[in-house]
Structure 1
Amino acid sequence: MTEILTALEGVAQRRELIAHGVTGRQLSAAVNQRQAFRPRKGWYALPGTSNELIRAVRVGGRLGCVSAARHYGWAVAERSGLHVCVADNAARLRLPHDKRERMPAPIPRDVTLHWVEHTASRPESRLVTSRRETVLQLALCQSPELTVAALDSFLHLDPVGSLDLDVWLRELPDAVLARLMECNRLCHSFLESIGRIRLANAGIRGRHQVRIAGVGRVDLLLADWLVIEWDGLEHHDNTAAHDEDCRRDAVLATQRRRCLRFSYNLVMHHWPLVLAAIQTTLAGNRP
């Protein structure tokens, strides 16, 4: 049974497991021996299964929108709550942390439900919305810059799977599509995409992921001399990383270039300061 559950992404309905030859007695034994648990009535899961998948199943739907994007590895904001896609005829919805408690009205602030017309599930969307569904939900639910940041990383991480992205986007209402900036597969992180979008809105554009001799790749190069590095949450704050950053900055200085580094907190919560620093530096001309 463990092998079957593993093949089914770690969580499955009782009827799915029975169809694969698992007996009711085996299911009970697995739960009693703590080889599996019941996240919701009629569902079984392996210990260690993705917590977000378990929470979506407990609610009564599939991971959707931002949560699905995170599942696929796309870049999303740090705090975006749980997004669950549920059929329009879904009933007996539960809280994500307790299968015994019904979903109250109003819905908790950290949970967003996406109601969709009930359709037969496809293999790729049994527990998570398909990539197409996820793209459309992002565009209709999130701000334009958060949507484009996720799509930038989709293009970067999955060049083949994203081939139909333009086709999917054309399904959106014109008013929604008009607010989305063109995506860029060269942006490798959430922060890089957010910075690109906000700088473009201020009339500042540059080259992304530029390779500079003696330095390596830099996140953004403006006017061929100002380097911008977006040091996101994934940036390792340790001695080795700090020493390497200092070395890169020193090499840039020998090339008559400057480097400005911005953290996640600065970009997301103090953007006017970030923009002013970049504009002021550019106005001062090349060193």
Structure 2
Amino acid sequence: MHTGSAFFRRSDLLKSGWTDRSLKAAVRDGRLLRARAGVYLEPDAPHDIVEACRLGGRLACTSALIQRGIFALDRGTLHVHLPVNSSRLRPLARSVRRHWGELHRTPDPRSACVELFDALVQAVRCQPARAAVATLDSAINTGALDPGDIHELFRVLPGRYGVIRPLLDGRCQSGPESLIRLMLRSLGVPFEVQKRIPGVGIVDFLVDGWLIIECDSRAHHSSWDAQRRDRRRDQSAAQLGLATFRPIAEDIMWDPGVVLAALRGLLSHRPSRIQENARFQTASRRPPRRVS
């Protein structure tokens, strides 16, 4: 069970030696957090888990995946799986998406989250197709989803979702990278993923043998030290005759049309003379690593 995702029932705590008086003292002192009547959490439990427990359900879908470090395209909606006989929910100050369907894998009785497999099934159905691919890419890249799970996942999903299975590629190291990969694929241009270039290092994409694409996020590129390293890499690439495009992660996720237009503009003005160096030429797009 994931750290921080367990809850404790009053009955179990009483059996282990707690008393109602000690439970009240622990809540008052901040050693326990009372989520709802008879249910307690660790005081540092993530906010989404606290809210899911207060609603009487389990964290689900994209909310549960983000909690596990797997990419999902989400604007802050809380996804909660609820028993079919749940009573009316109390209002929250944020949007809540309720999931009622039967789970495919039974969670640990103390788990405040649905199982990863069910969260992925829910997220594929809940997100746009491009985001569903990026989520599954992330799960493959992190090792959370193995080939057997992929086969089972598409077996339980409605048949119409089978069209996304050939698009999966676990080489991309972030959700925005997967989204860029799908854009490049739609443009029909040759590209390589996680390409090592001598003197530059590993870049997210090398497109058409001359254009480097790096997917920048605030988390990894906001400091001046990081920006300085990035600019020096770009200078090294320029010395080799390679151009660099750095779309921002938030634009890739939430304004993809702008990024796609920029890619079209760049690729429509392909340099007339490209350095004839086999190390940087891509005759055809390398097929993705097989995951089925």
Query: TM-score, normalising length from structure 2?
Result: 0.83
Q: 1:202 aligns with which of 175, 178, 187?
A: 187
> Which residue does 2:50 correspond to in 1?
54
* Structure 1 stretches lacking a partner, 5+ long: 1-5, 98-107
Give how far 1:162 is off.
6.2
> Which residue does 2:196 correspond to in 1?
211
> Which residue does 1:113 correspond to in 2?
98
- Specify whether residues 17 and 176 from structure 1 end up closer, same or farther in structure 2 by C-alpha distance, changes over 3 A only: same
> Which residue does 2:84 correspond to in 1?
88
Give how far 1:271 is off.
2.9
**C-alpha distance in 2 between matches for 1:237 and 1:273:** 21
> Which residue does 1:279 correspond to in 2?
264
Pairwise mapping of residues 34-53 of structure 1 onto structure 2 (< 5 A)?
34-53=30-49
Give how far 1:159 is off.
5.4
- Specify whether residues 238 and 122 from structure 1 end up closer, same or farther in structure 2 by C-alpha distance, changes over 3 A only: closer
**C-alpha distance in 2 between matches for 1:21 and 1:8:** 22
* Amino acid in structure 1 at the alignment position of 2:36: R
> Which residue does 1:186 correspond to in 2?
171
**C-alpha distance in 2 between matches for 1:144 and 1:117:** 23
Moved more, 273-282 or 240-249: 273-282
- Specify whether residues 218 and 125 from structure 1 end up closer, same or farther in structure 2 by C-alpha distance, changes over 3 A only: farther
Moved more, 77-86 or 18-27: 18-27
Kindly indicate whether structure 1 or structure 2 has the higher relative contact order, using CA contacts under 8 Å at least 6 residues apart: 2
- Specify whether residues 10 and 122 from structure 1 end up closer, same or farther in structure 2 by C-alpha distance, changes over 3 A only: closer
**C-alpha distance in 2 between matches for 1:231 and 1:85:** 33
Q: Is the 8 A contact 1:148 1:181 kept in 2?
A: no
CA RMSD of aligned residues (A): 2.6
Q: Is the 8 A contact 1:192 1:230 kept in 2?
A: yes
Moved more, 259-268 or 110-119: 110-119
> Which residue does 1:23 correspond to in 2?
19
**C-alpha distance in 1 between matches for 2:139 and 2:105:** 26
Secondary structure of the 2:36 match is: coil
> Which residue does 1:100 correspond to in 2?
none
Give how far 1:20 is off.
3.5
* Amino acid in structure 1 at the alignment position of 2:206: L
Give how far 1:151 is off.
1.0
**C-alpha distance in 2 between matches for 1:163 and 1:213:** 37
Give how far 1:225 is off.
1.9
Give how far 1:11 is off.
2.9
Q: 2:157 aligns with which of 144, 156, 172?
A: 172
Give how far 1:172 is off.
0.9
Secondary structure of the 2:82 match is: strand
1:143-172 per-residue CA deviation (whole Å, 9 max, x = no partner) reads 111111111111111256564222212211
More strand by share: 1
- Specify whether residues 285 and 121 from structure 1 end up closer, same or farther in structure 2 by C-alpha distance, changes over 3 A only: closer
Secondary structure of the 1:230 match is: coil
* 1:268 and 2:264 matched: no
**C-alpha distance in 2 between matches for 1:119 and 1:248:** 47
**C-alpha distance in 2 between matches for 1:222 and 1:80:** 33
Secondary structure of the 2:79 match is: strand
> Which residue does 2:141 correspond to in 1?
156
- Specify whether residues 16 and 119 from structure 1 end up closer, same or farther in structure 2 by C-alpha distance, changes over 3 A only: farther
**C-alpha distance in 2 between matches for 1:53 and 1:186:** 30
Secondary structure of the 2:194 match is: strand
Give how far 1:80 is off.
3.8
- Specify whether residues 279 and 14 from structure 1 end up closer, same or farther in structure 2 by C-alpha distance, changes over 3 A only: same
- Specify whether residues 93 and 198 from structure 1 end up closer, same or farther in structure 2 by C-alpha distance, changes over 3 A only: same
Pairwise mapping of residues 4-15 of structure 1 onto structure 2 (< 5 A)?
9=5, 11-15=7-11
Q: Is the 8 A contact 2:106 2:115 kept in 1?
A: no
Q: 1:67 aligns with which of 63, 83, 87?
A: 63
